[in-house]
């Protein structure tokens, strides 16, 4: 895993706060998601294998599932994309997605407290989070006159 001893210690402390056992795989997965925001599972696996070459796909999948379940990682699923993972948690931010190159960028809520949106009718639900994805063309693609690709491969920022 790339990163400093401090980053490793931070990951270990985060795991301990959730009562999860600190394992090399979990620390490496947290580091991979930190280093590659909006990464898909294959990107996380490649990154983890830089420091743990023998790690299995299943170990990474299991770690991502567990880390998502305890709230250390957030899973997002933009339409037409595989699951993506990020370490930015707890702030109910949203995403910008380029329809041409599929770049994903975080965007803060524009106004108000979380959730950022209030539905016109809540049907009795206690709303905890609003998820918004803004679709369009990133500056580079817009300047190049790009068109949406329909491609399911996403870039990460």
Cβ contacts of 31 within 8 Å, gap of 6 or more: 1, 2, 3, 7, 8, 11, 47
Phi, psi of 2 (to 5 degrees): -70, 165
101 assigned to a ligand binding site: yes
Pairing between β-strand 133-136 and β-strand 94-98 as defined by DSSP bridges: parallel
75 assigned to a ligand binding site: no
138 assigned to a ligand binding site: yes
C-alpha distance across the termini of the chain, in Å: 18
Would you give the distance in Å from CA 60 to the centre of its chain? 15
For the annotated binding site for Zn(2+), the residues are 98, 101, 138, 141
* Residue ranges at the known binding site: 98, 101, 138, 141
């Amino acid at each position: 895993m790339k990163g400093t001893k401090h980053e490793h210690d931070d990951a270990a402390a985060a795991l301990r706060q959730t009562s999860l056992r600190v394992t090399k795989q979990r620390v490496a997965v947290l580091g991979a998601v930190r280093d590659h925001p909006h990464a898909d599972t294959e990107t996380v696996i490649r990154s983890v294998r830089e420091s743990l070459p023998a790690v299995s796909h299943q170990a990474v999948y299991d770690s991502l599932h567990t880390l998502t379940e305890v709230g250390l990682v957030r899973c997002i699923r933009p339409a037409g994309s595989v699951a993506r993972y990020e370490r930015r948690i707890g702030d109910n931010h949203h995403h910008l997605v380029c329809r041409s190159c599929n770049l994903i960028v975080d965007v803060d809520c524009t106004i108000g407290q979380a959730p950022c949106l209030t539905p016109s009718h809540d049907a009795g639900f206690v709303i905890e989070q609003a998820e918004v994805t803004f679709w369009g063309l990133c500056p580079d693609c817009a300047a190049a006159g790009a068109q949406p690709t329909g491609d399911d491969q996403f870039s990460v920022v």
